[in-house]
Amino acid sequence: MVQKNNGSKRGFGRRIADGVRAASDGMRSATANALRGVADRIEVPRATFEIADIKIDFGVDAAGNTLWATQQQIADLFGRNTDTVGEHLANAYAEGEISREATTGDFPVVRIEGGREVARTIKHYNLDAILAVGSRVKSPRGTQFRQWAFRILKEYVVNGYALNEERLRNDPAAVQSLAEQVRAIRYDEKNLYARVRDCVVLVSSDYDGTSDQVRSFFARMQDKFHFAACEQTAQQILLTRADATKDRMGMTTQLNNRPTLADARIAKNYLSPEEIKLQMLAGDAFFVYVENMIARGRTATTAQLLAKIDEVFKFNEIPEFPGYVGPYIKPQVDAHVKTQYDLFRARTAQERYDDARRLPPSV
């Protein structure tokens, strides 16, 4: 969701600059902000308006029931230059048709300049302002865009997403890309086990969410999926892969450059893309089997399900989890991850401090 730049970003930058200034009196807050500008940007949902020879990505604010565009995007949309768009906006504000405060917002936009990513704060205009310009330029695209925009916003409100159906029908590669993205979301840690739980509730004849037996069932299912991906349990992954000396502590699947302790405790975050794909395939095999049982009205105990899943994995030549061997290591793993995380935090904080000290003073 698009959020207006209300100063929280600047406040964050000032707090960082204060810390840098304490370590180096010659440091300027603007320089410290620039060091972190790219990492401190806002990500917003996008929707693409594509017709004839134009293709424009607009920011979607489903909660505010609007879209956002830069002045250049509005100019491209209606086939005018930015000066003309600026004049029409000024007239719309002067005539009281729209309110400047209600229809504008400043948002960070990341651009490639000189071969590097640079974040610039650029003024954006919402759907009311875009339509006000469209009514003044009398472009036939105004009606087409309005119909598209209202459809997109309705789909976001109802579904939480919007699809470009015409493009998907005519572009097999786009369909495949979308299917892979949906599969990745489907097998996200939280979504995967929520769906496993939902299926087991429907097919298990002895399901009791409060019983130790069911909790043990889900723990074993989690390790079956991890073992299918890399032939290690969740605890073994954390013990062997959480490493303070590595970038992002060795994590590969979460996108935050400053991972939290909660991120560090999720075994799936350490799996490689290839291992994630193998885990997804194991999930597919599980869900095909269980959903077939549900469709046929069959049930099984949780113990029978575990045994059947082993058979399904064996048939599909997926590595079978052999069961737990050796001592219980969770306390040891928790302590290891916490130690590595504390070391990682100390190392990266020192690196940021060293980088800040190397910055030239402002002129």
pLDDT in tens, 242-272: 999 998 899 987 555 678 898 899 998 999 9
pLDDT value at residue 352: 72
**pLDDT surpassing 70 at residue 131:** yes
Find residue 112's DSSP bridge partners.
117
289 token code pair: 């089997």
Q: What is the DSSP letter of 254?
A: -
In sequence order, which residues have a C-beta less than 8 Å from that of residue 361 and are 6 or more positions away? 26, 27, 28, 31
| Overall size of the chain counted in residues | 363
Which of 103, 119, 116, 117 has its CA nearest to residue 9? 119
Rounded to the nearest 10 degrees, how much is the dihedral formed by the CA atoms of 282, 284, 289, 295? Answer: 160
- Does pTM top 0.85 for this prediction? no
Average pLDDT over all residues of the chain: 76
Domain boundaries, the chain: 1-162, 185-356
- Express each pLDDT in 274-312 by its tens digit: 998 899 889 889 888 988 888 888 888 888 989 999 999
Phi-psi region of 191 (alpha: psi -120 to 50; beta: other; left: phi over 0): alpha
Check: CB of residue 128 under 8 Å from CB of residue 98. Answer: yes
pLDDT value at residue 241: 95
CA pseudo-torsion sign 259, 262, 265, 266? negative
**pLDDT surpassing 60 at residue 322:** yes
End-to-end CA distance of the chain: 37
